Amino acid sequence: MQFLTKTCALPLLALSLAACGGGGGGGSKSSPSPVPSSTAASSVAPSSTPASSVAPSSSSIASSTPASSSSSSAMEGSETTQTATSVNGYSIAKIDNCGVGISAAAKTFAVFADYDGGVQNQNLSSLSFSGWNHATNGSSTEWTMLKNSGTTYNFNTNAKVNDSCNGVDSINMVLLKKIADWDHQHSNGFERNILAHGYKFGDIENLVFDIKINSAKTSIPSLDTLKTTYASYVSAATVDALEDGKVNIGITLADGTNLNGAIIFQLDQTALSDQWVRVTIPMSKLSYYQEVNYVRTNKTQADLSSVVIRRMLVVAETKSGAVLRGNITPWNTSVPETFKEADLSFKKIELQLK
């Protein structure tokens, strides 16, 4: 069966906050001088059939293959990364000595970073970050199955000193994604507006995320649980195509009109919880597309090479980026809702430039 999904319509910021959520905020360091940018309206537009705001990643994880290990500093005892594992073309490497002796590399733009505790408790609003949380919208039924109170899923306007990483700042948020309904499917999230810096899709080599899954408030339904919950609505095969019971994070780079590059990357919370890891994503692994009036047209990386990026959007996702609603006919409000809840800390979000 094919999934009918619904996109966070982001053509207007007000609409994005009302429907799927939107906003942005974070810290930067050592950013190059801005270059003139193109005129930008709002961000991601909806897809042809109601679809996720983030383009789906490959539904299956490729065999893990070792990549060469890298070190973030030559200083003895400083932060290093272990041998990386390749997953679907991006790499995941555990971080040792987190936050010790780190600094911005050349040809790097920090969407958010605190190098070795140099800047702490950063005001994210002043850095053009913002976020949203629909779980506090006053509905008495929509959020019944959440594991925590609605305010738990708020976007905090300040970064926090993180004791698990040498006291560097981190953005901390329990990201929330619906499994069944596409209304408010991206129940919360955050973004940063980087338009003023003038970076084009073609300027970037890799996206880099230093991230930790915090086990305390992470709750990801197992496939068996989902199959039992939705047994009278969809087949087991439909659930398998939708989800895999892992932490999935959706990243979208948007030009502010209707051009986007996006990816969903996956972290196995069973193996990686409470450990800092570095995820490095080549820009060639993003899906590029134009989205107008729910119609998505595939683009190539070259098509967007000279397009200026307005913002980066971060949300929780299912494996496929879809929800079950498109496979449930007729849809009604009695269909139970379940959620993916990923308690995450980000200490670094960087654009590695060419």
Residue 19 pLDDT level (bands cut at 50, 70, 90):
very low
| Distance in angstroms (rounded) separating the CA atoms of residues 191 and 42 | 13
- Residue 76 is predicted with a pLDDT of 65
Residue 235 pLDDT level (bands cut at 50, 70, 90):
very high
- Residue 57 is predicted with a pLDDT of 41
In this structure, which amino acid lies at residue 286? L
DSSP H or E segment with residue 236? helix 236-242
| Distance in angstroms (rounded) separating the CA atoms of residues 169 and 272 | 20
pTM of the model: 0.81
Alpha-carbon distance values, 160 to 110, 265, 343 (Å): 17, 24, 14
Residue 263 pLDDT level (bands cut at 50, 70, 90):
very high
Lowest-pLDDT range of 109-123, 145-159, 217-231: 109-123
- Spatial strand order of the sheet with 188-193 comes to 129-133, 188-193, 311-317, 247-254, 259-267, 287-292, 295-299
Lowest-pLDDT range of 104-108, 128-132, 229-233, 319-323: 104-108
Q: What is the mean pLDDT of the chain?
A: 83
- Residue 119 is predicted with a pLDDT of 83
CB 132 within 8 A of CB 17: yes
Residue 343 has pLDDT above 50, yes or no: yes
Residue 44 has pLDDT above 60, yes or no: no
Residue 56 has pLDDT above 70, yes or no: no
- Mean pLDDT of the 93-106 span: 94
- Mean pLDDT of the 294-299 span: 91
Residue 30 pLDDT level (bands cut at 50, 70, 90):
very low
User: How many beta carbons lie within 10 A of that of residue 240, not counting itself?
Assistant: 14
Residue 318 buriedness (CB in 10 A; 0-12 / 13-18 / 19+): buried
CB 251 within 8 A of CB 191: no
- Residue 341 is predicted with a pLDDT of 98
- Residue 79 is predicted with a pLDDT of 96
- 286 φ/ψ angles, rounded to the nearest 5 degrees: -75, 155
